[in-house]
Copies of this chain bind each other. A is one copy, B any other.
Amino acid sequence: MRLRVAFAVLLALMSSTSWAADLPAAFTNDARILFQGDSITHGGRGLNQADHNHIIGHSYVFLIAGRFGADHPEQNLTFINRGISGETVPRLEKRWQADTLDLKPDLLSVLIGVNDNAVNVPLEQYEQTYDRLLTDAKTANPKLKLVLGEPFTLESRKPADPAVWQKWKDGVDQRREVVASLAKKHGAALVKYQPMFDKACERAPAAYWIWDGVHPTYAGNQLMADEWLRTVRDFWKN
């Protein structure tokens, strides 16, 4: 009987107001959680760090920061966004010290590759430079938790030239393979955004999730936040 009551209470809780979330084990006390990447991560954030109004941007980073910042203030988590629009791995390398190592993250999440694909950074350079950045980050903090996001794309509109689209898509797939291999090498959690977005297209058209082939909508950003969290929970079960 008491079980029945508890069951009813649980059901009421689940169908009620909150969309609160349990703390992932990876979000330890006082953790500094840093997101690096390109425009997808950037999300229009202001670059003036003194202006706290625009410090986090409107990407999946804000969705994660807001949820866990609100639900677990006692953890004293700090979420930091350092995504920059248009960023490639070679460009990221130039600010790696100031914008990653100097910020002393406990968890570092990186999502980069679509611009490297767009401007044809050679695949080998992409891999070697990215590899070096991750090695440097782990050298600076051997206990660093690493999260790597797969580059992704969707055919949001019928392409003008299918051959151009296919070349672009193949290029993104190649970068994905590199990222998967780097994740394995560095013991990083790998967020598989591409199959997630592919699957979402069974629920709504591609443009509902990614409006221009590259940049997620508000709904697409939430999918990213959810998949990021799912991956982090799975990886660091503790």
Contact = CB atoms under 8 A, between A and B. Distances in A.
Contacts of A208: 73
A98 interface: no
Interface in A9-41: 10-11, 13-22, 39
Contacts of A70: 219-220, 222-223, 226
Given A7-B7, A10-B11, A44-B54, A17 B62 contact: no
Interface stretch (A103-111, A139-147, A174-182, A209-217): A209-217
Nearest to A77: B219
When all copies of this chain in the complex are counted, the total is 2
Contacts of A82: none
Interface of A: 3-4, 6-7, 10-11, 13-22, 39, 43-46, 52-58, 62-63, 65-67, 69-71, 73-74, 79, 200, 203-204, 208, 211-212, 215, 217-223, 225-226, 229-230, 233-234
